[in-house]
Amino acid sequence: MSDDGGLAADFETPFVPDDETPPLHESLTPLAFLVGTWRGVGVGGYPTIESFRFGQEVVFSHAGKPSLSYTSRSWVLDDAGNVLRAGAAESGFWRMTDAGLEVVLAHATGFAEVWVGEVSGSRIELSTDVVARTASAKEVTGGHRLYGLVDGDLLYAYDMAAVGESLQAHLSARLRPVQPR
């Protein structure tokens, strides 16, 4: 036997994942309407920055486990819809518990959040429970998010408390499914 306890042999044959997506874990049934790729445009603003338009892509996926994987990336747009520069990016996991919905998000700018909330049909409401940040990240102290499925599109609004400002409107967008649902 080798010094690695036989693990090296496990890596000699390449792993090829199954192309089929496993069934959605039963605990995620209330979130099933989110699964897929969503793209669209929105507006943002805050007292400490100029208002802006943005394009966004959000992906909710799963691997058959009791959590959804979530990624979001965005681009700042000019008035004609042309990309000016990369915008915010965040990723994390969404899961249902006996107490409701829990979401853990990490942001590329150095802060992380734990959100708690409720799902009611195709409406989701979340509030921050914990916000942590690195020494170089902007001071974000809280947030509130609403998501809803309206006429087949995913709409959301995000209120934020940051950099000494109280909780107030920051982002809103309308995202369309990339493939018909």
**75-84 pLDDT per residue, tens:** 999 999 999 9
Write down the pLDDT at residue 21.
77
CATH class for the region spanning 34-177:
mainly beta
Write down the pLDDT at residue 27.
97
For the chain, give every domain's residue range: 34-177
* In the predicted structure, residue 116 carries a pLDDT above the cut 60: yes
**Nearest Cα to Cα of residue 58 among 44, 77, 69, 73:** 73
**25-51 pLDDT per residue, tens:** 999 999 999 999 999 999 999 999 999
**124-179 pLDDT per residue, tens:** 999 999 999 999 999 999 999 999 999 999 999 999 999 999 999 999 999 999 97
